[in-house]
A = this chain, B = another copy of it.
Amino acid sequence: MHTTVVNYRYKRSASRLTVGAHLFGILAIILMLVWLLHYRGGIDYESDNSDRVFNVHPFLMFFGFIFFAGEAMMAYKTVMSEHQGKKYMHALLHLIALCTGIFGICAAFRYHDMRQIDDMYTLHSWIGLGTFILYGLQWLVGAAAFLIPGGTPESRLRLIPWHMSMGRTILYLSICAALTGLMQKFTFLGLSKALGDRESHLINFTALAILLFGIFVDLSVALARYV
């Protein structure tokens, strides 16, 4: 009886945190779209304007990669379905995040090519690509262990703590990548005198919304484990 009451409390807390995560995620997408569409000239991978090609990168890395990956983490607990349904939804959302993430990284390299800028010399690029490689490995190991039939229940059980711990670590790594990326763009825009006061606040609040999305996803997943 007592355990049920405590579990109910965590369940309620976890589902409130999930609502918070959705809200901060949507807020971050809106703020970022206002920034990219109103201040930065729009988003277009095929454009001849290199700035519009670049803008695909922050948009897809948050809305494509981080947002879908966060939703995938929460889906494992919140989707109203049988265990198999939750699992496939979790894997599918992560697959979408993986594919849009690859596309988003390509946009950054395409921008560098158009502007003839060196690749991979900034802290953001190291954290970002490192995170994405870990994410790809995590997806592959997860799919091999939990989706493809063949593994023993013991081997799956043994992998779960690693899968969950690494998942939350990669979530925070991706948040670090987003923050360092936004700060870097902030600096470059400031150097070229292309940054006003309003826009600088918009970038900073986008960064805060992304950070809060990460925290709420993490806490909702962490507390859901105590249910």
Residues of A within 8 A of B (CB): 2, 6, 9-10, 122-123, 126-127, 154, 157-158, 161-162, 164-166, 168-169, 172-173, 175-176, 179-180, 182-184, 186-187, 190-191, 204, 207-208, 211, 214-215, 218-219, 222-223, 225-226
Contact = CB atoms under 8 A, between A and B. Distances in A.
A165 B191 CA distance: 39
A211 B223 CA distance: 24
11 contacts: A122-B204, A123-B182, A123-B183, A123-B208, A127-B208, A161-B226, A168-B168, A168-B222, A169-B215, A173-B211, A183-B184
Main secondary structure of the interface of A (DSSP, over half): helix
A122 B123 CA distance: 19
Nearest to A177: B179
Contact of A187 (B173, B187, B218, B222): B187
A162 B176 CA distance: 23
Contact of A127 (B161, B162, B186, B211): B211
